[in-house]
Structure 1
Amino acid sequence: MTRETLVAGEALIDFIPDRHGALAAVESFSRQAGGAPANVAVGLARLGRTPWFCTTLATDAFGDHLASVLDREGIPDRFVSREPDAQTALAFVSHSRDADREFTFYRQGTADRRFDASGVPDDVLESVDVVVVGGVTLTVEPARSATFDLVERARAAGCRVLFDPNVRPELWEVDPAPTMRRMLSMTDVLKGSREDLGGDTLPTEPDELLDAGPDAVFLTEGDAGARLIAAEGSPWGRGEWHHGGYRVDDVADTTGAGDAFTAGVVAGLVDGTAPEELLGFANAVAAASTRFEGAMTALPDREAVERVRDGR
């Protein structure tokens, strides 16, 4: 069996609040499967581009729930390993009145810290077009070394590496800057917002980001849509493209919008989509995901994406 994409990284549990406001004021939460790479993997499956997914799950009840969700979404478990001496990472989400969100993580002794990609053989990587990694597994060892090993082998196999950084200071046990600069030097496609890039941790200007390693940078700009800035070595040659996004009047939750956008970008890369169409599609995937609460639960299928593009 061959697949065009391998997504690698954490799966965790999001606790979604029953009301807007500060975390201290929330009395009830709903349990939802989450983690940016897991969301991207499921997002691709719902768009008809089911990837390989490499992750490490605990064997606790939450880990069993994550395994069940991934199975229900059609994600193959070939590279899903289980860690018996770990717990599942938890993220408590708080929402502001405008549906923006913040996260509080509980991540000591958790399976994502022990992420292991050694089970992905080189012959599988040789059959994959795009490898997608995030920033959370770079925050601690041994997950950091496992992530870099996978990326190095992927590049040697001719894969394009898409990196979606997540520079949250509270997750890092070391200065993130050297690790992130190293990752950028091994990245072909970078996707992020200025917030994702971590302020002073990494360059935020497109030309500086391209100089650091990638040949293509997707910058999401909230309500203003997204931009693609590409260098000469990209699949589209040198250029810059912008799409203004789609207006959604019934926004329920923006938690998974960034991951939905990433799934749209990856699907477009695999399909060889032209820049303007790719940006429009990825923006529509993100917009469609904001109509429902949660991250993974809100990820749309292609029919829902087309409704957004048609103004419905």
Structure 2
Amino acid sequence: MTGPLVDVVCVGESMVTFLPSRPGPLADVPAFTRAIGGAESNVACTLAAAGHRARWVSRVGTDGFGDHLLDTVAAYGVDTGAVRRDPHRPTGVYFRTDADRATDAHEVVYYRAGSAASAMSPATVPYATVAGARILHLTGITAALSADCRALLHELTAPRPGRPLVSFDVNHRPALWRDGTAPEVLRELADRADLVLVGTDEAERLWGTADPAALRALLPGPAALVVKDGARTALVLERTAARPGPPGVAGTEDTGGTPGPEGSEGAAGPSGATGPDTLTVVPAPRVEVVSAVGAGDAFAAGFLSGTLRGLDARARLRHGHLMAAAALTAPGDLAAPPRRARADRLAALGADAWGRLHLGPGWTSAGTEADEEVRTR
């Protein structure tokens, strides 16, 4: 199935997630609320809600949880026509606390072993399901599900004529890697992609460094490397000759900008000298966090949205921060993104106004623009 041209195809498992009714360890939570969660479907839903054409490719069981997943993802406007139902394997589920993944208080319990999605493989997910996309978005979570899933990612990231721009979010989940192969497997897959996103915390766990130049030396293959430093900053190192753009979006020369806390400048390449990469660093706005879960997926969606629109590096990073802020200020894995016109206006703020931006719960709702303007003065 090639289908009509879509902006982004996201391949990976989504599960029914049970959100706690109150903070605290799982043993003390008396009740849970049903939602959905999955890095790739989160990105697809956020992009669709932001006005892009998104397709989600996966496998789910023929159970009620599979019905719920398909109905919920489709309700965001995502094309789910390539999702297959597996009568022999269940849909995955998981339970989690509401603490940040980066803290010791975070707990997550997966019931996904032998799930329908773990049976994804080159045989069950034909390449035709992603052909015709401008961007193919993958994550390291899929590689951890099974040997067949790992083989699928190797197939999808293999060089071939007409391959979509491959976006790879490292998304290291230590609980899913029991064999010690995560550092090498994720490094290899990331180096086969065109665009890579990685957090400083997971880079440190995987490869022993969060230094952008060291990570670039470790991952010389991608045209763009995005390094996210939590609530502080995000940066992108990218080839200066031609900024990566998916088919249909022209690559543009990045001539740099004003050096300083935010902007583009010549960056030290792997050799330590000013070289083939341009560095752009953008601080994150201040955010009143409700739940940290899903922020990384939202950032990826914002950055990919900017990539699809051919925006410059600063704007792409700012749209990533804004999408992440929408997720951070709402419960659950998914949140309504800001309207495009509003996000564009915020992304275009001067450095001083951007630095004063303060976003709280409900900031993406209509009617909050005036309050937001006061906060940026």
- Matched with 2:257 is none
The 2-side partners of 1:108 and 1:179 are apart by 20
What is the count of residue pairs matched by the alignment? 309
- Matched with 2:27 is 24
- Match runs of 1:243-262 below 5 Å: 243-249=282-288, 251-262=289-300
SS at match of 1:52: strand
The 2-side partners of 1:166 and 1:207 are apart by 20
Structure 1 position 215 matched with structure 2 position 220: no
Task: Choose from 97, 104, 108 the match for 1:103.
Answer: 108
Q: Is this contact kept in 2: 1:228–1:275, CA < 8 A?
A: yes
Q: Is this contact kept in 2: 1:54–1:117, CA < 8 A?
A: no
- Structure with bigger RCO (C-alpha 8 Å, 6+ apart): 1
The 1-side partners of 2:174 and 2:100 are apart by 24
Alpha-carbon spacing, 1:82–1:102, altered in 2? closer, same or farther (3 Å): same
- Matched with 1:192 is 198
Aligned-residue offset at 1:127: 2.7
- Matched with 1:57 is 60
Task: Choose from 269, 292, 300 the match for 2:337.
Answer: 300
SS at match of 2:97: strand
- Matched with 1:88 is 91
Task: Choose from 45, 49, 71 the match for 1:46.
Answer: 49
| Bigger Cα Rg | 2
The 2-side partners of 1:23 and 1:258 are apart by 23
Deviates more, 1:124-133 or 1:218-227: 124-133
Q: Is this contact kept in 2: 1:54–1:79, CA < 8 A?
A: yes
Q: Is this contact kept in 1: 2:100–2:292, CA < 8 A?
A: no
Aligned-residue offset at 1:131: 0.8
Q: Is this contact kept in 1: 2:298–2:320, CA < 8 A?
A: yes
SS at match of 1:265: helix
SS at match of 2:331: coil
The 2-side partners of 1:51 and 1:123 are apart by 15
Percent sequence identity over aligned pairs: 27
Identify unmatched segments of 5+ residues in structure 2: 244-252, 255-276, 347-362
The one-letter code of the counterpart of 2:327 is: S
Q: Is this contact kept in 2: 1:125–1:157, CA < 8 A?
A: no
- C-alpha deviations, 1:56-106, integer Å up to 9, x for none? 111111111101112211211221111111112222111239996442222
SS at match of 1:223: coil
Task: Choose from 143, 149, 160 the match for 2:155.
Answer: 149
SS at match of 2:237: strand
Aligned-residue offset at 1:125: 4.7
The 2-side partners of 1:194 and 1:98 are apart by 13
The 2-side partners of 1:114 and 1:44 are apart by 26
Aligned-residue offset at 1:247: 1.6
Identify unmatched segments of 5+ residues in structure 1: none
The 2-side partners of 1:189 and 1:69 are apart by 28
Aligned-residue offset at 1:118: 4.8
- Matched with 1:239 is 278
Q: Is this contact kept in 1: 2:100–2:293, CA < 8 A?
A: no
Give me the TM-score of the superposition, normalised by structure 2. 0.75
SS at match of 1:295: coil
Aligned-residue offset at 1:129: 2.0
Aligned-residue offset at 1:161: 1.0
The 1-side partners of 2:278 and 2:126 are apart by 35
